[in-house]
A and B are shown apart, each in its own frame.
Chain A
């Protein structure tokens, strides 16, 4: 009864409905994009829907997240969504996760689903979800919005005509510089836009599951709500993979996405006290990146000397299995060197010594070893 208007479609039929009922879709983010995705997939009868969101409902969400109301402010989005959607369609099983998706839990979570929908609001999550879907071979329905423009596309779904399955890294191999792209919080977004893009994502998921029509595989659509400009771009896999991304599950677990996207630059510094503790450990390599002519003082610990000017070409020789602490005179160049290490070996534990040698010497005069 419930699904009669869509099973009546001859391309869809009872068969399409059964495919939906047997399918499991994970929706990451229950915000502007996630709300319409969740509403339409629940209504359409997707059998199992996972909802991941650690955020709570705020007043400023309501203009674009009409699944929520005034009474929901302060409550977990994932929980409120599952209650409302259950009343819309009690036949659906909802898996609710009030947690932050991380490289530690993403593979396990995503593996339990057939299709993943990206409705997140930051680059580190987007790269993480993309890489996890590539590793697990799961189709990913991507959507993003800003201002009056949105993007939607399907990644990691093989085009049987040419065997191609492109992904987000083929479109944007590396994330933009931190803070160079404003968020919807800073820039604003017209409320109806994520409604349109999210509904398109839901339609793509239904097409992927039921096998009807042509999903946006290897295509990114750009849509402008102000002038209704709709533009499709075909993506093909990058010939040269300039940026290293995780190829195995253990590389993925150790990949620091927030660092990769420049969201936690400062967390990769250690204090003088932390350095003294780390130094007692055998598995630590200390690298001094000061130039040779600067090295007039002797340090009381052994270190490898690789001047920053020659650091890039020496990267391949580093032992990245050990923890690396990079030092310089004041702690600035060492931070640059750590960034270089992390770009090449995202899974490596590398830290820059805050304040550098000059602070360490002062500290040691006061606290003799």
Chain B
């Protein structure tokens, strides 16, 4: 059982990779804690979270092989 992560922008810069897998966790809240433990700098930035290409705003349940995208805001033009 695993969760696939896709990182964009600053999140990818902090984690040093754009896609990887982590062992299964039950929801996005737990995933966030796990990621922030591995990459503490994630605590200081904002990012939107999408599960299987759908934006989520509250803690959401995860299933095996779900794809979680971490999308920080950009402002450049």
Contact = CB atoms under 8 A, between A and B. Distances in A.
Interface string A224-261: 10000101111110111000000000000000000000
Identify the 7 closest CB pairs spanning chains A and B, nearest first.
Answer: A184-B76, A121-B77, A144-B74, A176-B46, A146-B74, A233-B50, A33-B77
Given A121-B76, A175-B46, A224-B18, 11 more contacts: A144-B75, A144-B77, A151-B74, A171-B55, A176-B45, A176-B72, A234-B50, A235-B55, A236-B54, A239-B57, A239-B58
Contacts of A33: 77
B45 A180 contact: yes
A144 B76 contact: yes
A149 B76 CA distance: 10
A195 interface: no
Give the interface centre of B6, B58, B69, B76 by most chain A CB atoms within 10 Å. B76
A250 to B, nearest CB: 27
A147 B46 contact: no
Interface of A: 29, 31-34, 118-123, 126, 143-147, 149-151, 170-177, 180-181, 183-184, 187, 189, 194, 220, 222, 224, 229, 231-236, 238-240
Given A172-B46, A176-B46, A181-B72, A234 B55 contact: yes
Contact of A220 (B18, B45, B71, B72): B71
A123 B73 contact: yes
A240 B57 contact: yes
Given A149-B8, A172-B48, A181 B55 contact: no
Main secondary structure of the interface of A (DSSP, over half): mixed
Given A177-B46, A180-B44, A146 B76 contact: yes
Contacts of A171: 48, 55, 73
B63 to A, nearest CB: 18
A121 B75 CA distance: 5
A149 B74 contact: yes
Give the interface centre of B58, B69, B74, B77 by most chain A CB atoms within 10 Å. B77
